[in-house]
């Protein structure tokens, strides 16, 4: 068996120890006589897994007690619609800061339910920078302000939590959750599909300030009601037990590796190495994002001559570096280097890029 370094943007690479443990427990979990995915979500075995996953995530991210933590199905995109239904009154305004593809998606999902306002939009500049805070047009009385902490496709990341005044701040952290220490108390709601930085696709983490759950929102079915999910410990219906379990193993692995502060240091080193390789290539490679807004999680880059793209992809795959093809929206290449990407993987990619340039430059 030979596992490559996998730069996929999502579903993304998982830590090998986690996969090995899941493999070992696949036929029987901990003396249960069955695997964890074959038993009731309400039985003591899965309840223990669920409780530990929540406790471990609370420890990892220092989540205050006045925040509920939900483990839901439906992906990040579903939450983008649900947050409008749950937290905005009919016709109420909500502000959207659009810094890339996912910010646009969030706006689109909310539009049927709220008076969605674009507070700032980076599209005119090709989403290569974050519109400066002093240019944002925030609406008085907005239900919330939404932004995308890290734009997975455009490679644009907020370095600081923006100050938006009165309205609660809602943030899509799908591709950067737990990548560095975060003051959760600055937010009304944080959500993240797990398949980038936390584990397997199929479970989405929602961290929401409990007082917001008392908002009336809009008429909706119980299954679309965050307060009901919180009241039933995310077991309003059958939760994605396998995904929840696997995410829990990732949380334990992260804690054992030194927690979020340690991953922040690794992520800084990994992204610096990659950007230095690109910037030091004399134009052979280029990244077009403003330096201060460059993502530490997703590094899109282009070869000076697109005719070399196919060769680059073929040779990198042969060298054990896979999934480097850029998103179709941008083209070129993209290296996703989440928490789960080892430093040795980024070092191997940087070495390959220098070698490729030496041969084709």
Ligand X SMILES: *Cc1c(COP(=O)(O)O)cnc(C)c1O
The binding site for ligand X (CB under 6 A) comprises 10, 75-77, 102, 148, 152, 172, 174-175, 193, 196
Q: How far apart are the first and last CA of the chain?
A: 34
In angstroms, the CA 324 to CA 321 distance is 7
167 close to 144: Cβ distance less than 8 angstroms: yes
Neighbour count for residue 291 (Cβ, 10 Å): 9
As measured in angstroms, the least distance from the Cβ of 196 to ligand X is 6
Nearer to ligand X, 77 or 347 (CB): 77
Smaller CB separation from ligand X, 10 or 199: 10
Nearest CB to ligand X, comparing residues 193 and 199 = 193
Quote the least distance from Cβ 229 to ligand X, whole Å: 17
Q: Confirm if 332 and 303 have CB atoms less than 8 A apart.
A: yes
CB of 75 to ligand X, least distance (A): 3
Q: Which two tokens stand for residue 237?
A: 């219906």
Count CB-CB contacts under 10 A for residue 257: 14
For ligand X, the closer of residues 242 and 360 by Cβ is: 242
In the complex, minimum distance from the CB of residue 243 to ligand X, in angstroms, rounded to a whole number: 11
- Is 46 in contact with 241 (CB distance < 8 Å)? yes
Nearer to ligand X, 129 or 172 (CB): 172
- Residue 325: active-site member: no
Q: Is 102 among the catalytic positions?
A: yes
Which residue blocks in 171-258 are alpha helix, DSSP H?
226-231, 241-257
Both tokens of residue 2?
A: 């030979």
The CA-based diameter of the chain, rounded to the nearest angstrom, is 62
Catalytic residue among 29, 56, 95, 102: 102
The minimum distance between CB 107 and ligand X, in angstroms, equals 12
Helices and strands counted in the chain (H then E) = 9, 14
Return d(Cα 188, Cα 66) in angstroms, integer.
11
CA neighbours closer than 13 Å in the CB half-sphere of residue 256: 9
Alpha helices in 28-143 (DSSP H): 44-61, 75-87, 101-110
- Catalytic residue among 95, 129, 172, 244, which? 172
> Measured from the CB of residue 20, what is the shortest distance to ligand X in angstroms?
26
CB of 193 to ligand X, least distance (A): 3
Q: Which is nearer to ligand X, 223 or 310 (CB)?
A: 223
> Rounded CA gap, 117 and 137, in Å?
9
The whole-angstrom separation of Cα 49 and Cα 328 is: 38
> Looking at beta carbons only, is 54 or 157 nearer to ligand X?
157
Candidates 29, 95, 129, 196; catalytic one: 196
**Helices 16-24, 241-257: crossing angle, 10 deg rounding:** 130
Query: Which residues make beta-bridge pairs with 349?
Result: none
Q: Which residue is nearest to ligand X (CB)?
A: 75
- Which amino acids are annotated catalytic? 102, 172, 196
């Amino acid at each position: 068996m030979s596992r490559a370094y996998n730069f996929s943007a999502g579903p993304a690479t998982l830590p090998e120890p986690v996969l090995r443990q899941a493999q070992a427990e696949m036929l029987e979990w901990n003396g249960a006589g069955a695997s964890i995915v074959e038993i009731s979500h309400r039985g003591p075995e899965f309840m223990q897994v669920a409780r530990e996953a929540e406790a471990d995530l609370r420890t990892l991210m220092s989540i205050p007690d006045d925040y509920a933590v939900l483990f839901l199905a439906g992906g990040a995109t579903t939450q983008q619609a649900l947050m409008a239904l749950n937290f905005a009154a009919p016709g109420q305004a909500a502000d959207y800061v659009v810094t890339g593809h996912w910010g646009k998606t969030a706006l689109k999902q909310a539009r049927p339910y709220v008076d969605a306002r674009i507070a700032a939009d980076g599209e005119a500049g090709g989403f290569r920078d974050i519109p400066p805070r002093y240019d944002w047009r925030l609406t008085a009385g907005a239900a919330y302000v939404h932004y995308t902490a890290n734009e997975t496709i455009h490679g644009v990341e907020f370095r600081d939590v923006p100050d938006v005044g009165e309205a609660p701040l809602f943030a899509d952290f799908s591709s950067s959750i737990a990548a560095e220490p975060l003051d959760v108390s600055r937010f009304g709601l944080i959500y993240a599909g797990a398949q980038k930085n936390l584990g397997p696709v199929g479970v989405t983490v929602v961290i929401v300030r409990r007082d917001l759950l008392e908002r009336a929102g809009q008429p909706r079915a119980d299954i679309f009601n965050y307060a009901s999910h919180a009241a039933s410990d995310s077991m309003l219906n059958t939760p994605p037990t396998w995904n929840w379990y696997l995410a829990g193993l990732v949380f334990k692995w992260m804690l054992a590796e030194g927690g979020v502060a340690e991953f922040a240091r690794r992520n800084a080193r990994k992204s610096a190495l990659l950007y230095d390789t690109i910037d030091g290539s004399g134009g052979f490679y280029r990244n077009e994002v403003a330096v201060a807004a460059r993502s530490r999680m997703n590094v899109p880059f282009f070869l000076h001559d697109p005719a070399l793209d196919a060769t680059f992809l073929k040779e990198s795959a042969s060298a054990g570096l896979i999934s480097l093809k850029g998103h179709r929206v941008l083209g070129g290449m993209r290296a996703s280097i989440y928490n789960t990407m080892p430093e040795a993987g980024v070092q191997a990619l940087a070495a390959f890029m220098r070698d490729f340039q030496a041969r084709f430059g």
